[in-house]
Amino acid sequence: MKKVVPCLCMLLAIASLACEKDAKANKKPKEKPPVAVSAALAVQREVPVRITSIGTVEALSTVSVSSRVEGAIESAHFSEGQDVRKGQLLFTIDRRPFAAVLEGAQANLQKDLALLDEYRKERDRAETIYKQDLISRQDYDQAVTKAASQKAVIAADQAAVDAARLTLGYCEIRAPLSGRTGPLLVNPGNVVKADPASALVVIRQVQPINVRFSVPQKDLMAVRQARARNTLVVRAKLPGPNSGDAANGGLMESGTLSFLDSQVDAATGAVMLKALFPNGQKILWPGQFVEVGLDLSTRSALLVPAQAVQTGPDGPFVFVVTAKKTASVRTVSPGETLGDDMVILNGLEPGEMVVTAGHLLLTPGAKVEVVQDSPSPGNDKGKAGPAGAGPASGKAQGEDPTRSGGRS
């Protein structure tokens, strides 16, 4: 028994180890659940060929309003920073001295008109008597000359009346153009002089409005050729992450190219341009710096949402959702950014589905589940379809210039 018991224990231990090995061999590894991601289709669309720059907003017209007569300002009929119309009354100057001058001129005119009437009667009597040979030719000529001289005096008096009335009208200072007023530079009660350099208020026309910007001389020929073909569209966007209309790529205003300078600046190697904007919402304001995009033409490009492009050790890449619902790493060459989208120069084909959210949990070959379709590039309302679906038609929207002085 002493020999049998150890042998039985050994046999039981060997059998237990064998069963454990068989259990481990038959046990299958657990499959990882698919990774939940958002995805969108890569689409082929028409995108603008754009030159981007930084521009300065300028008022279309700027007028310094000054007085044309000397006198005391009685009242100002507007508020600082108010929009005024052309011809609107701005200031009233004390008119009493000028009204007195007008009344004096009118009185002189009436007096000389009475004298003219008397001299004309004397001329007529002299003519009748001269025909009867009762006065000499010299007396007759003197009567005619006296009436004619008085007529010239009347003309001078009338001119004096007109000048006095015009000067009196200068006591009402009106807006020479429609625009927005600046600060009030002279308050009522002050005496002003007829000095163009002494401004009472400055008015700037902001509807429409100009944006001045420059482009490199290497792009001058392309701009001239495009301008010869059609009217060039210029887009302006206020800088800053919170500016602009998110549904329109942050672009604030659209205008047209209105001016191309006749020379290249030798110091900077750039040529100056101006664009005219309607500025209906008064978004653009004189003195602002804006991002400017000058569209020359359009070209076809492959677009994906910008958040789909990641950066790895080997450069930019995207995760592509394959037909087997797995993640495949694809190295790409990105181009310019257009709003929320990015141009892909190579590495992708139209219709392929790329991951836009959930990258951190992905590994090459991992199973994926598209739980939310992202909008297709250039179409905020469009949704990505199944993998392999063709690209939608239409033009890209939401372009956003991102490089100063560059050409897209």
| 234 close to 252: Cβ distance less than 8 angstroms | no
The dihedral over CA atoms of 166, 167, 168, 171, expressed in degrees to the nearest 10, equals 120
The single residue listed with the structure tokens 């394959």 is: 322
Same domain flag for 243 and 228? yes
Same domain flag for 83 and 184? yes
For the chain, what percent of residues have pLDDT higher than 70? 81
Q: Is 154 part of a structural domain of the chain?
A: yes
CATH, residue 341: 2.40.420.20
Tokens of 4: 């049998």
Q: Is 357 part of a structural domain of the chain?
A: yes
Which of the given ranges, 163-167, 240-244, 279-283, 294-298, has the highest pLDDT on average?
Answer: 163-167
Q: Is 224 part of a structural domain of the chain?
A: yes
Each residue of 63-118: pLDDT tens digit?
999 999 999 999 999 999 999 999 999 999 999 999 999 999 999 999 999 998 88
Tokens of 227: 């301008």
Q: What is the pLDDT of residue 126?
A: 86
Q: What is the pLDDT of residue 395?
A: 35
Same domain flag for 142 and 188? no
- In 3D space, the residue among 120, 127, 123 whose CA is nearest the CA of residue 153 turns out to be 120
CATH, residue 79: 2.40.50.100
Q: Is 395 part of a structural domain of the chain?
A: no
Give me the mean pLDDT over the 226-230 stretch: 90
Same domain flag for 246 and 338? yes
Tokens of 48: 């603008």
Same domain flag for 268 and 279? yes
Least confident of 77-91, 195-209, 331-345: 331-345
Q: Is 341 part of a structural domain of the chain?
A: yes
Tokens of 239: 């800088």
Tell me which of 148, 180, 202 is where a domain ends.
202
What does the DSSP 8-state code read for residue 187?
Answer: -
Same domain flag for 104 and 68? no
Its domain, for residue 125, covers: 95-170
Q: Does residue 407 register a pLDDT over 60?
A: no
Tokens of 124: 């007529």
Each residue of 294-315: pLDDT tens digit?
988 888 889 999 999 999 888 9
Q: Is 119 part of a structural domain of the chain?
A: yes
Same domain flag for 259 and 368? yes
Give me the mean pLDDT over the 369-395 stretch: 51
Q: What is the pLDDT of residue 287?
A: 93
| Sign for the pseudo-dihedral over CA of 388, 394, 396, 398 | negative
Q: What counts of helices (H) and strands (E) characterise the chain?
A: 4, 22
Q: Is 107 part of a structural domain of the chain?
A: yes
**Cβ atoms within 10 Å, residue 80:** 12
Same domain flag for 85 and 196? yes
Cα Dmax for the chain? 192
CATH, residue 132: 1.10.287
Distances (CA, A) of 198 to 188, 206, 336, 362: 15, 23, 51, 71
- In 3D space, the residue among 373, 375, 362, 359 whose CA is nearest the CA of residue 326 turns out to be 362
Q: Is 297 part of a structural domain of the chain?
A: yes
Q: Which amino acid is at 303?
A: L
Q: In the predicted model, what is the mean pLDDT of the chain? A: 83
Same domain flag for 127 and 190? no
Q: How far apart are CA 301 and CA 297, in angstroms?
A: 13
User: For 171-185, b where at least 16 C-beta lie within 10 A, e where not — what string?
Assistant: bebebebbbbbbebe
Q: Does residue 173 register a pLDDT over 50?
A: yes
Same domain flag for 192 and 85? yes
Same domain flag for 281 and 353? yes
Least confident of 132-141, 184-193, 285-294, 382-391: 382-391
Same domain flag for 253 and 310? yes
Give me the mean pLDDT over the 112-129 stretch: 89
For the chain, what percent of residues have pLDDT higher than 90? 50
Q: Does residue 172 register a pLDDT over 90?
A: yes
Distances (CA, A) of 259 to 231, 251, 262, 276: 11, 21, 9, 9
Q: Does residue 31 register a pLDDT over 80?
A: no
For 354, residues 6+ apart whose C-beta sits below 8 A from its C-beta are: 39, 40, 41, 42, 304, 305, 308, 318, 319, 320, 321, 348
Tell which phi-psi region holds residue 388, choosing left (phi > 0), alpha (psi between -120 and 50) or beta: left
Give me the number of domains the chain comprises: 3
| 137 close to 96: Cβ distance less than 8 angstroms | no
For 223, residues 6+ apart whose C-beta sits below 8 A from its C-beta are: 51, 215, 232, 257, 260, 271, 273, 294, 296
Q: What is the pLDDT of residue 19?
A: 57
Q: Which residue has the higher pLDDT, 198 or 406?
A: 198
Each residue of 354-372: pLDDT tens digit?
999 888 888 888 898 888 7
